[in-house]
Chain A
Amino acid sequence: MTIDWSGVLAAPLRIVSRNDPELKEMLLSLAQSALPIGITGIEKRFGAVSILSDLSLDVAAGEFLTLLGPSGSGKTTLLMILAGFVRANAGSIKVGGEEIITMPPHKRNIGMVFQNYALFPHMNVFHNIAFPLKQRRVSAAETAERVERALDLVQLKGLGERRVDQLSGGQRQRVALARAIVFEPRIVLMDEPLSALDKSLREHMQIELRNLHRRLGMTTVYVTHDQREAITMSDRIAVMDAGRIEQIDQPEVLYARPRTKFVAGFIGESSFVPVESRNGSVWYEDRKLRMNDAAPSTGRHLMVVRPEKLRLIAGEPPGDVNVLPATVGDVIYQGDSFVCYATLRDGRQVTLRDYCRSDVLSRLPAPGEPVTLGIDAQDVVLVADQ
């Protein structure tokens, strides 16, 4: 009798090469189940107070979209309406073309990660994650297998028997995530899931969540008030204020080309310099602004000045740079970079940040010194002066 050793030898090799066909299959089925969301004309009032007014938003299949805004901007209310916990006064939500606005939450097949995780305290980690499968009458054997894979996915292998209160904040966060994706939902909603974690863990989880989303490809709607988090993780960001979407764009567009003063102020640091548009060109005091965009409608506008777009000009400025004469208020050395607070002639404060290259460092301005600040024509962004 001869023994075929090849199969026996290959088995461990397959595991080592991480070519787990089951995991692949799970990832594939998740990616295929991703559906687009069409939100149209959502209205929500509490009594006389309008929370959301005529809000429309399209989320592409597999997209990671973030609702970003200050508290009270209506972002959490919108998420609650999506999950079905809050009833809108009007509007439509279509998931893959199917209207779900009147569907009860337990039939929506949407996974959600809550701000405080909302893990069930009377169940261990395994039973928490198995809960959605149990509701769907999945067999015990398959449940065990899928929970195991979900635990593996969030790097909590072997912690199934732990009680919820034996877990750290980061681990609870992972359990909540595993529970929200184990039943392969059409959409995943996350309500400030990282806000309870400390800074370094939060930054770590941001990267991890983003990678997980890239692997699984589920349509994700994420709510946060942390602009840095939104920029780090999102495909697109919808900036919300007072129940309306101010702007929805990719993070880099949102940062480079904010369309309103609110967006410019909320995302990143900005100083605003008043300018005036007349006769097809834009004027800052008596200087004509050089800019790539066409001049906006006649009237007063604000130029959005980002700290890193400003630079110190020594000598004659190049042709496509706008110059702003200013007086240095304070210079703060921060190791890798420095920050310079300067006052323009009209008394407005602007901030400049630059890296401490040796050529810059050698001629750092002193407080009280008059300087010339420059901003490139391509970096000039104007918003309406509200």
Chain B
Amino acid sequence: MSLASASLDRAGRPDRGLNADALNADARREAHGLFALLSPGLFLVFAVIIVPVGWLFWLSLFDEAGQLSAANYARFFEQASYIKTFVTTFKVAFFVTGACVLFGYPLAYMLSQLPRRAASICLIFVILPFWTSVLVRTYAWLVILQRKGLVNTWLMDLGVIGQPLPLANNFAGVVIGMTHIMLPFLVLPLYASMKAIDVDCLRAGMNLGASPAATFRQIFFPLSLPGLASGLVIVFVLCLGFFVTPALMGGGKVIMWAMRMEQTTSLYSNWGAGAALGVVLLAVTLALLGLFHWLLGTRVTGVWSRR
């Protein structure tokens, strides 16, 4: 047997198969070519993400005297004001996300049920604020909500209230202003996932004996959860690093993380401390994303990806 096969090989058959070396070389060439095509993108990622983040981290390790130390991080545990900022940031993000879900879910549901033409017109009104500067919109809210603003003037003229409501320059103002800015980030992914729900699934639900309310609860809502989850995560994470609106609408009383960073770097010129704030915010955000993924990924987003 072995003799026979050996003689076959000697008869001119290469032992690694016909053209094996040429095919291997070809595969290698293709891999190199693909990597060459990818390299501009990889370079960009390296230059604008890896390098700055690395630099930020490096900066955070030095104190004001330029000495290598953990002082910048120790401050988070020692100074109550840092902890307060941290708590405020999460409180704002939590309330804004909650308000976005409260307004955004019914809005997205309405959009998904409208006829195509009406839906695209309404969708423009959702996206329109996107094209306006955040600064302009925040000042507009300030005009509407301040002590002698539109809302208070009207309510007092109508005799609903005797004293102007504290709507601006406080926590409520920040939440109102940010909700307006964040709403499209929740509505758009939610709308997309609602549009993707098969009408026949809802029909099947009713056909099998579920009332319209039961069909919504048992079929529509669970199938819209992947979109809701992704919208929720986007809004929450964006809230954590938000600057303009809380700075203008908070009246100096609501200090969020990003504002703290701005103060630390431009007011006190303490780059190490500012960098540490950035690193912590980044770490917390990534940890949150991981948590969301772990919580929702298995149950909710799983349905989506498996379809």
Q: Is the CB of B206 within 8 A of A109?
A: no
Give the docked Cα–Cα distance between A114 and B207 (Å). Answer: 10
Smallest Cβ-Cβ distance to A135: which chain B residue: B209
The reply to whether the CB of B110 lies closer than 8 angstroms to some CB of chain A is no
CB neighbours (8 Å) of A179 from chain B are 204, 208
Q: Is the CB of B204 within 8 A of A118?
A: yes
Give the docked Cα–Cα distance between A84 and B209 (Å). Answer: 12
Which residue in A105, A135, A165 is a CB contact (below 8 Å) of B203?
A: A105
The reply to whether the CB of B200 lies closer than 8 angstroms to some CB of chain A is yes
Which residue in A105, A122, A135, A180 is a CB contact (below 8 Å) of B223?
A: A122
The reply to whether the CB of B201 lies closer than 8 angstroms to some CB of chain A is yes
Which residue in B206, B208, B210, B306 is a CB contact (below 8 Å) of A121?
A: B306
The reply to whether the CB of A110 lies closer than 8 angstroms to some CB of chain B is yes
CB neighbours (8 Å) of B215 from chain A are 106
The reply to whether the CB of A136 lies closer than 8 angstroms to some CB of chain B is yes
Chain B nearest CB from A280 CB (Å) reads 55
Q: Is the CB of A104 within 8 A of B303?
A: no
The reply to whether the CB of B214 lies closer than 8 angstroms to some CB of chain A is yes
Chain A residues 122-139 with CB under 8 Å of chain B are: 122, 131-132, 135-136
CB neighbours (8 Å) of A163 from chain B are 306
Chain B nearest CB from A39 CB (Å) reads 18
Type the 1/0 row for B190-212, where 1 means its CB is closer than 8 Å to any CB of A. Answer: 00000000101101111111111
Q: Is the CB of B207 within 8 A of A165?
A: no
Q: Which of A119, A121, A132, A163 has the most CB of B within 10 A?
A: A121
Which residue in B198, B207, B303, B306 is a CB contact (below 8 Å) of A110?
A: B207
Smallest Cβ-Cβ distance to B299: which chain A residue: A122
Give the docked Cα–Cα distance between A114 and B203 (Å). Answer: 9
Which residue in A106, A109, A111, A118 is a CB contact (below 8 Å) of B211?
A: A106
Chain B nearest CB from A255 CB (Å) reads 33
The reply to whether the CB of B107 lies closer than 8 angstroms to some CB of chain A is no
Chain A nearest CB from B117 CB (Å) reads 15
CB neighbours (8 Å) of A180 from chain B are 208
Q: Is the CB of A114 within 8 A of B200?
A: yes
The reply to whether the CB of A61 lies closer than 8 angstroms to some CB of chain B is no
Which residue in A118, A135, A183 is a CB contact (below 8 Å) of B200?
A: A118
Q: Is the CB of B198 within 8 A of A112?
A: no
Give the docked Cα–Cα distance between A212 and B265 (Å). Answer: 77
Chain A nearest CB from B61 CB (Å) reads 48
CB neighbours (8 Å) of A108 from chain B are 207
Task: Tell me if B's interface is mostly helix, strand, loop or mixed.
Answer: helix
CB neighbours (8 Å) of B209 from chain A are 106-107, 109, 132, 135-136, 183
Give the docked Cα–Cα distance between A161 and B204 (Å). Answer: 21
Contacts A114-B200, A121-B223, A135-B214 hold; do A105 and B306 have CB atoms under 8 A apart? Answer: no
The reply to whether the CB of A120 lies closer than 8 angstroms to some CB of chain B is yes
CB neighbours (8 Å) of B201 from chain A are 118-121
Which residue in B204, B207, B212, B214 is a CB contact (below 8 Å) of A120?
A: B204
The reply to whether the CB of A281 lies closer than 8 angstroms to some CB of chain B is no
Give the docked Cα–Cα distance between A85 and B200 (Å). Answer: 10
Q: Is the CB of A105 within 8 A of B207?
A: yes
Give the docked Cα–Cα distance between A337 and B210 (Å). Answer: 53
Q: Is the CB of B206 within 8 A of A105?
A: yes
Give the docked Cα–Cα distance between A112 and B204 (Å). Answer: 7
The reply to whether the CB of B219 lies closer than 8 angstroms to some CB of chain A is yes
The reply to whether the CB of B307 lies closer than 8 angstroms to some CB of chain A is yes
Interface residues of B (CB under 8 A from A): 198, 200-201, 203-212, 214-215, 218-219, 222-223, 303, 306-307
Interface residues of A (CB under 8 A from B): 83-85, 104-112, 114-116, 118-122, 131-132, 135-136, 163, 165, 179-180, 183
A sample of 17 more A-B contacts (CB under 8 A), given A112-B204, A121-B306, A122-B223, is A104-B206, A104-B211, A106-B206, A106-B209, A108-B207, A112-B203, A118-B201, A118-B204, A119-B204, A120-B219, A131-B218, A132-B208, A135-B209, A135-B210, A135-B214, A180-B208, A183-B208
